[in-house]
């Protein structure tokens, strides 16, 4: 189990997982209006880039 986003992105360089299970918490009281990318957004973008390189 990988417990941080940074370690998960580093692991993508070594591994090519078929599935990823992640917990995501969104703070509705924080009105950022989508201005900031969340950790989940960054991780999924890294997965997509890795997937494109594999094919």
Segments in 1-55 forming alpha helices (H)? 5-14, 39-54
Q: What is the pTM for the complete model shown? A: 0.59
Indicate if the pLDDT at residue 36 is higher than 70.
no
Q: What is the pLDDT of residues 7-35, one digit of tens each?
A: 988 888 888 788 888 777 666 666 555 56
Residue 39 contacts residue 27 (beta carbons within 8 Å): no
Instruction: Please indicate whether residue 21 or residue 52 has the higher confidence score (pLDDT).
Output: 21
Structural domain boundaries of the chain?
5-54
What does the pLDDT read at residue 22?
79
What does the pLDDT read at residue 35?
61
């Amino acid at each position: 189990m990988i417990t941080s986003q940074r370690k998960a992105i580093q692991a993508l360089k070594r591994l090519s997982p078929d599935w990823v299970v992640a917990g995501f918490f969104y703070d509705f009281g924080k009105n950022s209006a989508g201005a900031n990318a969340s950790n989940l957004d960054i991780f999924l973008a890294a997965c997509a880039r890795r997937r494109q390189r594999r094919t």
